[in-house]
Structure 1
Amino acid sequence: MDIRSLKFFLAVLEQGSITKASESVHVAQPALGLHIRKLEEELDLQLLERHSRGVRATEAGELLARHAELILRDVELAKEEMTNYLKVPSGKITIGLTPTAREAIAVPLVARVSRDLPSVHLTVKEALSESLVEYLLNYRADAALVYNTREGADQLAFEPLANENMYFVYPLKEGVREPDTIPLAEVLQHRLILPTRPHLVRTEIDRLASNLEVTPEIIHEVDSMPAIRDFVARGLGCSVMPHGAASNIIYSGLVGSRLIVQPEIKRILHLAYLRRRSISKAFDATLRVLKTVVEEEKQRSGGQWQPILAQFQRASTLTLEPNTVPAMSPMSHVQ
């Protein structure tokens, strides 16, 4: 068993076909098949099974794949430590972003890394906060911007970076000028399009509605913010989301937005990464760029994020300690 064979094995699983894998790794199909057969002979186990559309892992193959991913990640970390001796930051860095964070900063982040860190190969992965935490714990991402998650607090460091206010977004009516704010109780009187649980926005709306002893009228459930804002723009209902998530259609005049008050609903943006990891120059430099881009978005008029409030920053830092749960709700609210 060697590193090359493990890479080939994972490529076959990713492509679902030895033929496609041979093209992706630039190895002849017979040679690739030989590597797989030698792995099976060495382990005395069947690792792949054929089906009508290609191949898939057996139970033993899935177990090997998990080990192979960890082994190859350790090899990459070793390479990163060696490059740490270089003056110029270089290497592969993977950053995870939530959908709203991706819309807000992915372009300036990639542009800044390309300009300032030309020897860093940056990969951006998009997922919800819960999935990004799993990526970090499974070494599929080096760092991520996540919201209010407490999962993995014993293995991950969380740095609070910004607040994000929730807004009521609604189809604009010609000639009607609405106030800039709206009480939550009034929001709950509208026909709403919201994500399904356990999305943080939906979970918090359900919790606060229960506190008010109100049953919100949720007419559609959609697990995509871009889709929700399109539905709102077409007059199919209203929703709750960060201002930045709806900024394109707000500025185009298709929908209006009102800051939710009584209570205000905020969620906290954190930078998350493994506590115990090799801190390469590339990692350190990329995180500095990431923090700079987030800070610029906070300062931008109409930006996605706002400066973090002192009391929430103190509460959030509790997640930096292992096995500590902050005394705050998943989304913070202020009267």
Structure 2
Amino acid sequence: MHIESLKYFQEIAELKSISKVAKNSHISQPALSQQIQKLEDSLGKELFIRSNRGVKLTESGEIVLKYADNIIRTHNKMLSDLNDQESREIKIEGEYTIATYCLPCAILNMKFKFPNHQYNLTAASSDKIEQDVLSDICEIGFTTHPAGAENLHSEEVIKEKVVLISPPAFDLPEKVKIEEILDHKFVILKENCIIKENFKEVLAEIGRNLSEIEIISRLDSTEALKTLVRKGYGVAFVPYNSVRDEFSAKEINVSRITDYDLDYDIYMINKKAEHLSEDVRDFIANFKKLGKHICY
């Protein structure tokens, strides 16, 4: 299987048009069609149903698409490793909030202590992180849940503090009980995340549920939550590391819940030690020495 044909297949599946991909790739449409035909011949399966309105995936095409991205990224990782055989760079992935707010601080601490390490940090979903560690696309992943794969090692390495943020005008105290804040309007994330899961569990313990809370907006990112809180629309639960600057600038108030624990652990996941390079084993051992409260 030629990797370029697989890349073209992936683009056509996304755009649902051979002509558009041919134009974007600056090749002729017949040449591109020939590439896809060769891919289909090599697999022994028809991948697209072609019509005057474009193309759509066959059942076989859906299966190939499911694996195409990982195959292409693994191929690119192989080329990168071949080109950088002398590099000591360690590739790290973290869930979006972890990679944005927590890991930069932690890795900076690592850089101060162990200056010989080089790091490449990217954000990804937890499922993708686990798959990328398994596929050697990254060496280390950081997630809010332990890995599900049996041949991966998971360990709690960071304790992330969760706080309630509110506009200064609300004048909420530094310490509050959960029942004292439930009458406020909330902004929360659309997708499920560890903070939302923990909040639901706390509500269940006191005989409440999320539908009873006044939620004025469900947003895509922690940055969006912070924006609405700063503008005075409501309150939100967020990782403390995500609001340290705004808190220092007195743009928001920060409160801790005293009667329930909403904090969560961050897990470092990696392959078993015998499958790791010496540099990665060294990183893991030294990272654990930093302690769980890295950025406080």
Instruction: Tell me if both proteins adopt one fold, taking TM over 0.5 as the criterion.
Output: yes
Q: Tell me the distance in 2 between the aligned counterparts of 1:142 and 1:17.
A: 36
Cα–Cα, structure 1 residues 150 and 291, in superposed 2: closer, same or farther, change >3 Å?
A: closer
Give the deviation of 1:188 after TM superposition. 2.7
Matched, 1:260 2:254: no
In structure 2, stretches of 5+ residues that fail to align are none
Paired residues, what number? 290
Q: Tell me the distance in 1 between the aligned counterparts of 2:272 and 2:9.
A: 30
Cα–Cα, structure 1 residues 33 and 2, in superposed 2: closer, same or farther, change >3 Å?
A: same
Cα–Cα, structure 1 residues 171 and 289, in superposed 2: closer, same or farther, change >3 Å?
A: farther
Cα–Cα, structure 1 residues 69 and 141, in superposed 2: closer, same or farther, change >3 Å?
A: same
Report if the CA contact (8 A) 1:196-1:202 is conserved. Answer: no
Q: Tell me the distance in 2 between the aligned counterparts of 1:218 and 1:52.
A: 49
Report if the CA contact (8 A) 1:3-1:72 is conserved. Answer: yes
Equivalent positions of 1:59-98 (< 5 A) are 59-69=59-69, 71=71, 86-89=85-88, 93=91, 95-98=93-96
- Partner residue in 1 for 2:198: 204
Percent of matched pairs sharing the same residue: 19
User: Over aligned residue pairs, what C-alpha RMSD do you find?
Assistant: 4.4
Give the deviation of 1:266 after TM superposition. 1.4
Cα–Cα, structure 1 residues 131 and 47, in superposed 2: closer, same or farther, change >3 Å?
A: same
> What SS does the corresponding residue of 1:157 show, helix, strand or coil?
strand
Equivalent positions of 1:29-68 (< 5 A) are 30-50=30-50, 55-68=55-68
Cα–Cα, structure 1 residues 276 and 29, in superposed 2: closer, same or farther, change >3 Å?
A: farther
- Partner residue in 2 for 1:10: 10
TM-score (normalizing by structure 1): 0.66
Equivalent residue for 1:229, pick from 226, 229, 242? 226
> What SS does the corresponding residue of 1:154 show, helix, strand or coil?
coil
Residue type of the alignment partner of 1:258:
S
In structure 1, stretches of 5+ residues that fail to align are 304-335
Q: Tell me the distance in 1 between the aligned counterparts of 2:177 and 2:274.
A: 45
Q: Tell me the distance in 1 between the aligned counterparts of 2:26 and 2:136.
A: 25
Q: Tell me the distance in 1 between the aligned counterparts of 2:264 and 2:174.
A: 20
Report if the CA contact (8 A) 2:156-2:267 is conserved. Answer: yes
Residue type of the alignment partner of 1:10:
Q
Q: Tell me the distance in 2 between the aligned counterparts of 1:17 and 1:170.
A: 48
Cα–Cα, structure 1 residues 168 and 70, in superposed 2: closer, same or farther, change >3 Å?
A: closer
- Partner residue in 2 for 1:218: 214
Cα–Cα, structure 1 residues 223 and 137, in superposed 2: closer, same or farther, change >3 Å?
A: farther
Q: Tell me the distance in 1 between the aligned counterparts of 2:213 and 2:65.
A: 45
Give the deviation of 1:45 after TM superposition. 2.9
Give the deviation of 1:109 after TM superposition. 5.2
Cα–Cα, structure 1 residues 11 and 249, in superposed 2: closer, same or farther, change >3 Å?
A: same
Cα–Cα, structure 1 residues 277 and 71, in superposed 2: closer, same or farther, change >3 Å?
A: farther
Cα–Cα, structure 1 residues 296 and 57, in superposed 2: closer, same or farther, change >3 Å?
A: farther
- Partner residue in 1 for 2:158: 162
Equivalent positions of 1:1-335 (< 5 A) are 1-13=1-13, 17-18=17-18, 21=21, 30-50=30-50, 55-69=55-69, 71=71, 86-89=85-88, 93=91, 95-106=93-104, 122=120, 124-127=122-125, 129=126, 132-133=129-130, 136=133, 141-147=138-144, 149-150=145-146, 152-173=148-169, 179-196=173-190, 198-214=192-208, 217-220=213-216, 221-275=218-272, 279-280=276-277, 287=283, 291=287, 295=290, 298-300=293-295, 303=296
Report if the CA contact (8 A) 2:176-2:257 is conserved. Answer: yes
TM-score (normalizing by structure 2): 0.73
